Each structure stands twice: as structure tokens, then as C-alpha cells.
Amino acid sequence: GENVEQHPSTLSVQEGDSAVIKCTYSDSASNYFPWYKQELGKRPQLIIDIRSNVGEKKDQRIAVTLNKTAKHFSLHITETQPEDSAVYFCAADSSKFYFGSGTKLNVKP
Amino acid sequence: GAGVSQSPRYKVAKRGQDVALRCDPISGHVSLFWYQQALGQGPEFLTYFQNEAQLDKSGLPSDRFFAERPEGSVSTLKIQRTQQEDSAVYLCASSLSPHPPDTQYFGPGTRLTVL
């Protein structure tokens, strides 16, 4: 089955700085890669996703890049704000979602 | 419109008790998924329905876990003879398309604590 690894497990940045979270996957059949944000005690919320026929996707301060050859994808958040503080999960889909173990992002004011 | 809802939000069970967790997906969503999320971990797939058909139950940890979606809408996850290792948040998600992958919308989860 698919194996998704996510790094780092924790990330602390100063407000206004950029944050990058990286994920690798093992199954070359995976073709959909969503990113979810989960605040403490709340439901995971989709923030951005990318399909395997696209290399990069951007939505305001958030971008995702995908390297199919290397089997890795990354989340980039620019101009971070304190409200970006949360746990972020990547996932890869090859018939079902496989989630990474999460990155706890702390944005310091 | 209304999102995915789950009930109860919190459940405390004594070891050995049976529990039933309910999921109301977004109206019209064909696909429904159950996940188990242990503390500090990502969600782990349990089972998947397309309408009333359970197409994948490979993630169910044991035969104590059973899920159903008899009319293709509301789903129930049942855990028999609960054990302490069953303590986790159980998340339900639904998606519009009958053909994954598609965007999954999550419910708030049910936090199960087994004493």
C-alpha cells in the first residue's frame, strides 16, 4: 500500500516569514494530493489540492508543488499569520486517502 | 449548506461495551469514508461506501468494527466489545463523486474514550 511521510513534525516561524512542509509518497499510482488544516479539536479542512497532471498550484498565500518523478510534494505558506497556526496534514490518494503524520505549525506574533 | 455532521461528539464507554457512531454526510454526496485518528497522528482509513455499497473495508482493525449505510445516506460505525486501544477520534468524510479521488469534506469527529 501507499506510505506517506511528512516533515517536519513541528515548525515554528515568525509572523510574516514563509513556512514549507514536505511530504513523500511511495505509490506511483497516486494521483491526487490534498492538504488539510486541523485546528485543535476541530475537523480537518481542505486548504489546497493538486492532481498529478499539474506541477504547481497557487491560492493567494498558499501554494503546493508536486514532483512526480521524485514522488514528493510540498506546501508553501507565505506571509504567515498567527491564525495559520494549526496542524497540517498531507495526503496521497491511490484508491484511498493515506495521510501523513502531521506538522504542527506555530506562527509567533 | 450544512456540512458533514457526526453524533455524538463525545462518547465514554466502559471496556466491553458496544458503541454506535453516526455520520450525516452532505446531502447528495455519493461517497462516504470513515477514519480513525489517534492523538497526534493523521487520520487512518477504515472503510468506504459508494451509496449503500461498502466497497472497501480493508482498514477496519478487527471484526469488532462494523459499518453500514443502508439507504445510501446516513452511516453508522459500530464497535462491539470496546477495548482501550479503540480510544481515538472517529472522523467521517463525504465526497460528491462516486469515483475517488475527489475532495473529501470532514465532519467534526466523535471522540471515543474507553475506560
Please list the ranges in chain B whose pLDDT falls under 70.
Answer: 1, 100
Q: Chain B residues with CB inside 8 Å of A101's CB? A: 41-42
pLDDT digits (tens, 9 = 90+) for A24-77: 999 998 999 999 999 998 999 999 999 988 899 999 999 999 999 999 999 999
Inform me whether the C-beta atom of residue A62 falls under 8 Å from chain B C-beta atoms. Answer: no
Residues from B in contact with A at Cβ < 8 Å: 4, 33, 35, 40-45, 48, 56, 59, 91, 100-109
Interchain CB distance below 8 Å, A32 and B101:
yes
With a cut of 80, say whether residue A95 has pLDDT above it.
no
pLDDT at residue B107 in the model: 97
pLDDT at residue B110 in the model: 98
pLDDT at residue A2 in the model: 85
pLDDT at residue B100 in the model: 67
- Of B42, B91, B106, nearest to A101 by CB-CB distance is B42
pLDDT at residue B1 in the model: 58
Inform me whether the C-beta atom of residue A53 falls under 8 Å from chain B C-beta atoms. Answer: no
pLDDT at residue A53 in the model: 83
pLDDT at residue A52 in the model: 83
Q: How far is B58 from chain A (nearest CA, A)?
A: 10
Residue type, B20: A
pLDDT at residue A59 in the model: 94
The residue of chain A nearest to residue B102, with distances taken between CA atoms, is A32
Interchain CB distance below 8 Å, B91 and A43:
yes
Give ∠ CA B74-B105-B55 in degrees, rounded to 5.
Answer: 55
Q: How far is A36 from chain B (nearest CA, A)?
A: 10
Interchain CB distance below 8 Å, B42 and A100:
yes
Compute CA B15 distance to the chain's CA centroid, rounded to the nearest angstrom: 20
To the nearest whole number, what is the mean pLDDT of chain A? 95
pLDDT at residue B38 in the model: 94
Beta strands in chain B (DSSP E): 5-7, 10-13, 19-24, 31-37, 44-50, 53-56, 65-68, 75-79, 88-95, 105-106, 110-114
With a cut of 80, say whether residue A94 has pLDDT above it.
no
